[in-house]
Structure 1
Amino acid sequence: MISINDLTFLIGSRALYDEANWHIKPGERIGLIGANGTGKSTLLKIIVGEYGPSAGTISMSKDLKIGYLNQDLLSYDSHHSILHVAMEAFERQNQLHDEIDVLLKKIETDYSEEVLNKLSDKQQEFEALDGYSIEYRANEILAGLGFSTADQHRPLNTFSGGWRMRVMLAKILLQTPDILLLDEPTNHMDLPSIKWLETYLLSFEGAIVIVSHDRYFLDKVVNRIVESRKGKLTPYAGNYTFYLEEKSLRGEIQKGEFKNQQAKIKQEERLIERFRAKASKAKMAQSRMKALDKMERVEDVDDDNPTVNFQFKFSKPSGRHVIRVEEAYKSYPNVEILENAEGLIEKGDKIALIGANGKGKSTLLRIIAGAETFDGKCETGHNVTTTFFAQHQLESLHLDNTILEELQAFAPKHTDTELRGILGCFLFTGDDVFKKIRVLSGGEKSRVALAKSLTTDSNFLILDEPTNHLDIQSVNILIQALTQYEGTFIAVSHDRYFLDNVANKIWFIEDKDIKEYPGTYAEYEEWNAKRPPAAPSSVPVRPDKEVKPKVAEQKAAPSNQQQLKKLNEQLKKIETEIAGFEQNVKSIEAEIADEAVYSNSAKLAEANKNYINAKHQLDNAQNKWEELASDIMEMEEK
């Protein structure tokens, strides 16, 4: 289908690709991955002919139809409706439709056989091209991407950049190309639209090449991975998870080969050094030197998964209650977001706020941050210090500052060594810290802004789409940072891998109220898949928030509500016990780590015995909590 042979592409004196090879076969679904700056988007532009290679060839058949989605399409503007823009994909059908309209008008006064034959021919071709169903197909794809029927008749220029990108994607999908090249297609998409796109691409009959940082999306859609790294393109069979396993195995093999070769090189060097000065052995030494120079060297394995080793601390811990939202009302023209909504964020909560676009996620974050007007209460707890990260903060970076200067101005209490350590965690090493902000890519600017957010003395973080523009490696770093963070945070993101690895509670807005699921994102997805469609309000509740039933429900089932209240009270009591048991376990762990204890066998044996008992108490309490939470969920679903 497409053959890339010995591709070299130079940017200045730097080779972005150096004699790279890649063959794309029909029907393959390929994930093109690599760190930011390795040339993934550039390679797609080379394939479609926007850039020419410095050397090498790209071969494909002349009639190959390519559908290419890239971030540059955000700038496309039109006063036509999005349905009209999407249907521009049917170029020949639209042309025939206009010609048929002209002939139908003409036939009102001209009944000649010539006009009738022309009309018949055009109508037959239009029908053969399935012209009568093109509007239905456009409606179907736009609906899948999140557009309501009313939205489809709105002009394109009334939508934000993210929604315009979806229209461009719909237009490309309607063209039914032989191969799709998709550059970060899930950017600006909500979770329902990402899931719809996954299903659509799985049924797409052509080849697909996807550049994406969404690991779950790649796992679901692709059957091959191609890694762009050090100027080469390395293929792996399977999805992203298989790629990780296979790359780890290849790395272990390469590491062993490197180690063996280095040992052989040192042995040869010792022999050469020993005999080169002796006349009788000089010829042999010279021959070995030549062989050593010609030896093809095995490279050592680089660590592509740096770890965060900086401790993100704050001077004052918050009180138990961080944020309490009560009787919140918020609406915009023609849409109500919240009505008498309530929500409680407690110390240590790691909350993922999820849902479709337009449900009010970012609005709720701004309410919590105090940056949005609304009716009701949003109380901040004792000693709570807040940092709000949103994409607009990238625009507030000072372009003439270096990366290090930007952090120095923002966090003057930190030493340069500490700041460079933080920047190292976010992949800015060595002289990188002296780069000017203005020369950074979008992903690099996001990393700088995130590093700034995590240097604050804040015990509560509000994060609005922190994974946008980040590559997979950078997302992993952010996950590590937030896992180590001992404060509280609430985050909006469409990256399911990120959410599943950082959140211990899920919030979503439903029926104009804030609903909560007490578990991880994967657990929420499993629970949500089993929810009866007719019972949207059946959600497990927080122990401190009793469901307020309608009066009719109170009369119909008073015993059920009493039992639910009793279970919530028991759950709250066990939570207090768990906190005490956890503190006891930590105290005993500290005792075991004390030299005076671990150096004394009798004291160590006693401490180990106490530790086992304490862990047993904690495990029993946690099991009891899970049983009660399960009972509450079942009662709420009745």
Structure 2
Amino acid sequence: MISINDLTFRIGSRALYDEANWHIKPGERIGLIGANGTGKSTLLKIIVGEYAPSEGTISMSKDLKIGYLNQDLLSYDSHHSILHVAMEAFERQNRLHDEIEELLKKIETDYSEEVLNKLSDKQQEFEALDGYNIEYRANEILAGLGFSAEDQHRPLNTFSGGWRMRVMLAKILLQTPDILLLDEPTNHMDLPSIKWLESYLMSFEGAIVIVSHDRYFLDKVVNRIVESRKGKLTPYAGNYTFYLEEKALRGEIQKGEFKNQQAKIKQEERLIERFKAKASKAKMAQSRMKALDKMERVEDVDDDNPTVNFKFKFSKPSGRHVIKIEDAYKSYPNIEILRNADGLIEKGDKIALIGANGKGKSTLLRIIAGAEAFDGTCETGHNVTTTFFAQHQLESLHLENTILEELQAFAPKHTDTELRGILGCFLFTGDDVFKKIRVLSGGEKSRVALAKSLTTDSNFLILDEPTNHLDIQSVNILIQALQQYEGTFIAVSHDRYFLDNVANKIWFIENMDIKEYPGTYAEYEEWNSKRVQPAPTPIPMKAQKEEKPKIQEKPVSTQSQLKKLNDKLQNIEKEIASLEAQVKATEAELASDAVYGDQAKLAEINKKYQADKHLLDAAQKSWEALASEIMELES
């Protein structure tokens, strides 16, 4: 499908890739991984032709259809609705639709056989390309990515960058390419949308290459891993978990080979040193020196998993109750977030706040941090000192400071050695710590801000999407740091591996109330998958801490609602049957010689056919929506 041979790509004097090779086969689902700066995104751009290789070749068939999602698409702007933008994927169908509309207008005055033949040909091609279902397909994918029916008619330029990226992804998926190149597709996605995308990609028939730092996502979707490291591309047959096991095994073998070779080199060097001064042995020593110079050296195994080597320092521990929320009410125009909500955060709680975007997670964090107005109370406990990490805090970095100076000013109690160790964990090594903040990329600034948060004197951390812009290695460091943290924290993240390794309680907003699950994220997922439906009345926070939420039987009102919905479903089924009969009858009329010879009659019946077809599509969509609602109530 795609063949990369002896690829070399240089940025200045540095070779990002050095004679790298890789062959992508049909149907493969590949995770392209590696530390930040190893060239993963650059490689995707080389494949699509945005960058030219310094040396080597990239071969692929001319008709290969590539779908490429990258972070540059965030800048795409349009005043059209997101449904219109997504449907731009259907270039040929859209052109045919416009041409058919023009011919239908033309046929009202021009009944020539030429126009009729053109119309017939266009309609046949449009139907062959499934043109009557393209809007339904676009609706389906946009809904899966988290857009409501109302959202789909809003202009693209009214959405934030993260939501625009989802529209771009929908457009690419609708193009049904032969191969998908996805650069961090789960960035800015909530958990329901990530799970939907996982299911979609698992059933995708083409090849896929994914750059992602989401380990669970990679484990679920890919069947091969390719690691970009030291200018080479190394394949592993399996998902990310298999890659870790296989790499550890290869590392042990390489480490053994390195030790054996080093022992042999030392032995040879001792012999050379001993005999080079003796005339009778000088020739032998020279020969051994040449052989030693020509020896292909085995590299030692680098540690790709550095450990956190610093301790958190508080000047004082907090009291038992860290945050107490009572009767909280918060709303925005057209949306209610919280109503009479209560919540309690106690000393030592490690809380993951999860849920779909738009449910109020970031709003709740701001309420806890005292940065959001609301009705009700949010009391901070005795001796609680708080640090709030959010992406907008990148703006508070001092641009003229070096990275090291920024941390020194914020955390004077830490030594330079400790600070450099922390920065090393976040991929700022050697002279990198002397870079000015103003020259850093957005991702690098995010890592500096996060490093600052981890050096704080605070005993309570509020973390809003701390894993954004971090590679897998840096996420592991953050996990280690929070596991060692003896204070209290609440974190919002869509990285399930991160949540599963740091949280001991789960919070989620449901029915405008704060609900709590007393366990890890994996336990919560297992419980939630078995949950029939949420309890009809909010469970008090204290009761939730004592026992897991119980499954409730369906109330009488639900049974009544089900009866109404089933009656409505039967009526729509009758309507669909009637419309299908009308469409079939109209198709038969269109095919008859008598109608085909009468241009005026043909135009009239064709108009009726299009109208009936539209009504049938609408009725089928209504049936599907009702059926889904009934299934949810019955489950």
Which TM-score tier does this pair reach, normalised by the shorter chain?
0.7 to 0.9
Matches within 5 A, 1:569-584: none
Counterpart residue identity of residue 110, structure 1: D
Query: d(CA) in 1 for partners of 2:37 and 2:536?
Result: 44
Aligned-pair CA distance for 1:266: 0.7
In structure 2, the partner of 1:568 is none
* 1:349-387 per-position Cα deviation (integer Å, ceiling 9, x unaligned): 000000000000000000000000000000000000000
In structure 2, the partner of 1:359 is 359
Q: Secondary structure at the match of 1:196?
A: helix
Unpaired segments ≥5 residues, structure 1 = 557-638
Aligned-pair CA distance for 1:395: 2.2
In structure 2, the partner of 1:71 is 71
Unpaired segments ≥5 residues, structure 2 = 557-635
Q: Does 1:15 align with 2:12?
A: no
Q: Secondary structure at the match of 1:305?
A: coil
Matches within 5 A, 1:126-145: 126-145=126-145
| 1:153–1:544 distance in 2 versus 1, CA, 3 Å | closer
* 1:494-522 per-position Cα deviation (integer Å, ceiling 9, x unaligned): 00000000000000000000000000000
Aligned-pair CA distance for 1:147: 0.4
* 1:596-626 per-position Cα deviation (integer Å, ceiling 9, x unaligned): xxxxxxxxxxxxxxxxxxxxxxxxxxxxxxx
Aligned-pair CA distance for 1:539: 6.5
Query: d(CA) in 2 for partners of 1:182 and 1:28?
Result: 14
Aligned-pair CA distance for 1:541: 5.0
Maintained 8 Å contact 2:342/2:541: no
The 4+ residue runs of structure 1 with deviation greater than 6 A are 544-547
| 1:99–1:176 distance in 2 versus 1, CA, 3 Å | same
Query: d(CA) in 2 for partners of 1:403 and 1:150?
Result: 45
| 1:312–1:536 distance in 2 versus 1, CA, 3 Å | farther
Query: d(CA) in 2 for partners of 1:92 and 1:74?
Result: 25
In structure 2, the partner of 1:435 is 435
Query: d(CA) in 2 for partners of 1:531 and 1:172?
Result: 34
Query: d(CA) in 2 for partners of 1:243 and 1:77?
Result: 39
Compare 511-520 and 409-418 and name the one that shifted more: 409-418
Aligned-pair CA distance for 1:421: 2.9
* 1:73-112 per-position Cα deviation (integer Å, ceiling 9, x unaligned): 0000000000000000000000000000000000011111
Aligned-pair CA distance for 1:341: 0.1
Matches within 5 A, 1:231-630: 231-533=231-533, 535=535, 541-543=541-543
Maintained 8 Å contact 1:68/1:172: yes
Query: d(CA) in 1 for partners of 2:380 and 2:445?
Result: 30
Compare 411-420 and 469-478 and name the one that shifted more: 411-420
Query: d(CA) in 1 for partners of 2:2 and 2:540?
Result: 52
The two structures, once aligned, show a CA RMSD in angstroms of 1.7
Aligned-pair CA distance for 1:411: 2.1
Maintained 8 Å contact 2:10/2:17: yes
| 1:537–1:15 distance in 2 versus 1, CA, 3 Å | farther
Query: d(CA) in 1 for partners of 2:541 and 2:328?
Result: 18
Aligned-pair CA distance for 1:192: 0.1
Counterpart residue identity of residue 146, structure 1: G
Maintained 8 Å contact 1:4/1:20: yes
Q: Secondary structure at the match of 2:310?
A: coil
Query: d(CA) in 1 for partners of 2:74 and 2:447?
Result: 22
Counterpart residue identity of residue 176, structure 1: T
Compare 269-278 and 161-170 and name the one that shifted more: 269-278
Query: d(CA) in 2 for partners of 1:54 and 1:479?
Result: 39
Aligned-pair CA distance for 1:538: 8.1
Aligned-pair CA distance for 1:272: 1.2
Query: d(CA) in 1 for partners of 2:443 and 2:257?
Result: 35
Query: d(CA) in 2 for partners of 1:246 and 1:440?
Result: 35
Aligned-pair CA distance for 1:253: 0.1
Query: d(CA) in 1 for partners of 2:377 and 2:322?
Result: 14
Q: Does 1:199 align with 2:209?
A: no
Q: Secondary structure at the match of 2:542?
A: coil
In structure 2, the partner of 1:596 is none
TM-score, with length taken from structure 1: 0.84
In structure 2, the partner of 1:4 is 4
* 1:120-156 per-position Cα deviation (integer Å, ceiling 9, x unaligned): 0000111111111100000000000000001000000
Q: Secondary structure at the match of 1:4?
A: strand
Matches within 5 A, 1:149-188: 149-188=149-188
How many residue pairs match? The answer is 550
Maintained 8 Å contact 2:237/2:243: yes
In structure 2, the partner of 1:617 is none
Maintained 8 Å contact 1:516/1:542: no
Q: Does 1:229 align with 2:220?
A: no
In structure 2, the partner of 1:80 is 80
Matches within 5 A, 1:14-163: 14-163=14-163
Q: Secondary structure at the match of 2:182?
A: strand
Query: d(CA) in 2 for partners of 1:460 and 1:444?
Result: 24
Q: Secondary structure at the match of 1:315?
A: coil
Query: d(CA) in 2 for partners of 1:407 and 1:234?
Result: 36
Aligned-pair CA distance for 1:430: 2.3
| 1:259–1:540 distance in 2 versus 1, CA, 3 Å | farther
Aligned-pair CA distance for 1:543: 4.5
Query: d(CA) in 2 for partners of 1:465 and 1:393?
Result: 12
Matched-pair identity in %:
93
Counterpart residue identity of residue 317, structure 2: P
Counterpart residue identity of residue 21, structure 1: N
Query: d(CA) in 2 for partners of 1:333 and 1:541?
Result: 28
Q: Secondary structure at the match of 2:143?
A: helix
Counterpart residue identity of residue 514, structure 1: I
Q: Secondary structure at the match of 1:152?
A: helix
| 1:538–1:339 distance in 2 versus 1, CA, 3 Å | closer
Q: Secondary structure at the match of 1:542?
A: helix
* 1:163-218 per-position Cα deviation (integer Å, ceiling 9, x unaligned): 00000000000000000000000000000000000000000000000000000000
TM-score, with length taken from structure 2: 0.85
Maintained 8 Å contact 1:313/1:486: no
* 1:295-331 per-position Cα deviation (integer Å, ceiling 9, x unaligned): 1000000000000010012011000000000000000
Maintained 8 Å contact 2:446/2:469: yes
Maintained 8 Å contact 1:82/1:167: yes
Q: Secondary structure at the match of 2:456?
A: coil
Maintained 8 Å contact 1:313/1:485: no
* 1:578-609 per-position Cα deviation (integer Å, ceiling 9, x unaligned): xxxxxxxxxxxxxxxxxxxxxxxxxxxxxxxx
Aligned-pair CA distance for 1:239: 0.2
Aligned-pair CA distance for 1:414: 3.0
| 1:544–1:173 distance in 2 versus 1, CA, 3 Å | closer
* 1:464-493 per-position Cα deviation (integer Å, ceiling 9, x unaligned): 000000000000000000000000000000
Maintained 8 Å contact 2:86/2:174: yes
Query: d(CA) in 1 for partners of 2:74 and 2:92?
Result: 25
